[in-house]
Structure formats: C-alpha cells, structure tokens
Amino acid sequence: MTHKLESFARYRITSQETRPIRHAVLRQDGSMAETIFSGDDDPDAFHAGVYDNGAIVAVASVFREAPHGEMDVDAWRLRGMAVLPGFQNRGYGKELLQACIAYVKDAEGSHLWCNARSAARNFYESAGFTVEGNRFYLPQGGNHYFMRLRLRETKLS
C-alpha cells in the first residue's frame, strides 16, 4: 500500500500520542490501559492529531477492520476520535475526519465505519455517514449508533 505521505505527514502521530486525549475525552473514568485499542499497532493503521500552539488537542485513528459479522477485507474502522473540550467547535474534528477519510480512500478502502456517540450523530451525518440499525448502549460511552461512509463497492475475501 503506497500512501501519498506528504498528504498525511501533517497529521500523523503515534498511537501512544493519542492516549492522553482519548483518556481525557472518552475514558476519563477509566484507566489509561482502556485507551489502548486493538488495531492501534497494525502496520497500516493511521493515527492523526491536530495541534494548537504546539500541543495535540484532537486525535483520531483508523485501521483495517470489518464490522462484526462482515467479511469485507477493505473495510476500515474509525476509532478514538476525540477533541479536548476547550478546543471543540473550532473545526478540528472535521479536519481530522477529512484526513482519515482521505487516508482510507488512498488505501483503497471500501468504507469507513464507527460506533458514534449519540451526541456526534449529526457531525458524522454532515460528513456523509449514514446510520445503520438502532441506537445501542456501550458501557464506556453511553448511547451510540453504528455509522458507515461508503467509499466504493466492497470485495469479499
């Protein structure tokens, strides 16, 4: 897989750099160990960050993973998208999401999916994601929706 590195270098951070933001926004009542996600260290995973005054204030990660019960080898998952509270509503989340979508497109991904918190549903819909199924509850973050952005036709393994 060849990526246009110059397009993504601006955003690329390590999985370790995502964890303080993940903890502060998504797992504040949990341990730092809960901020380590399966897929974080996959060779083609992409971890993105946005900086404000030299500090990372927003993060997101994408990695190859088919949704439960599906076999699409070109499916990608968006996970750990988080913007520190004092930096929300400044366009950082949109910027991160666009970088992640571009990365998945460059990797010839078929679609990008996520378990979106209910409060973020409109944000993802404005980027072209659609809700599939009913709202569900996750102990780590409350009510969620399964959302998907189709990028091309799927290939089954």
Domains along the chain with CATH numbers: 5-150 (3.40.630.30)
Q: What is the Cα 46 distance to its own chain's centre?
A: 9
What's the pLDDT at 2? 45
CB 19 within 8 A of CB 134: no
Residue 93's contacts (CB-CB under 8 Å, 6 or more residues apart) are: 58, 81, 83, 123
What's the pLDDT at 154? 54
The arrangement of strands across the sheet holding 142-150 comes to 46-52, 55-64, 75-83, 111-117, 142-150, 130-138
What's the pLDDT at 5? 45
What's the pLDDT at 121? 97
Note down pLDDT in tens along the chain; length 157 residues. 444 545 677 899 999 999 999 999 998 888 899 999 999 999 999 999 999 999 999 999 999 999 999 999 999 999 999 999 999 999 999 999 999 999 999 999 999 999 999 999 999 999 999 999 999 998 878 899 999 999 986 555 4
- Residue corresponding to tokens 């998504």: 26
What's the pLDDT at 153? 60
The sign of the torsion formed by the CA atoms of 51, 52, 55, 58 equals negative
**Number of other residues whose CB lies within 10 A of the CB of residue 122:** 10
| CA-to-CA separations, 5 to 20, 49, 93, in angstroms, rounded | 25, 15, 21
